Amino acid sequence: MDALPVFEQTGLSYASSCTAIDLAGAQHPVMHACGHDMHVTCALAAAEILANTIEAWSETAVVLIQPDEEGGRGADAMIADGLFEP
């Protein structure tokens, strides 16, 4: 989903070897170095539980998963894409 511009130095066989190009056009090594993956997993699990038990509750649930939360650009992009427009 997203990653931070950090070179993973764990030496593990599954360590990230990915790179990404930043907004300035520079290429950097990237890895998942935050809890965002777990937060997204928990949000998706909660959404699935709500969807599978919709007969047990009567309100509206809105689940938003923001990309690029580290830099704050994800929320801006979601709003620019019409998040709050009908």
Encode the chain (86 residues) as per-residue pLDDT tens digits.
567 889 999 999 999 999 999 889 999 999 887 777 788 889 999 999 999 999 999 899 988 888 777 677 888 899 999 999 98
Q: Are residues 41 and 71 in the same domain?
A: yes
Tally the domains of the chain: 2
| DSSP letter string, 12-52 | -TT----EEE-TTS-EEE-B--STHHHHHHHHHHHHHHHHH
Helix (H, G, I), strand (E, B) or coil at 4: strand
What are phi and psi for residue 4, nearest 5 degrees? -95, 150
Instruction: Please indicate, yes or no, whether residues 44 and 76 belong to a single structural domain of this protein.
Output: yes
pLDDT (0 to 100) of residue 56: 95
What is the model's pTM? Answer: 0.56
With a CB cutoff of 8 Å and minimum separation 6, the contacts of 82 are none
Are residues 27 and 39 located together in one domain of the fold? no
Cβ proximity of 18 and 40 under 8 Å: no
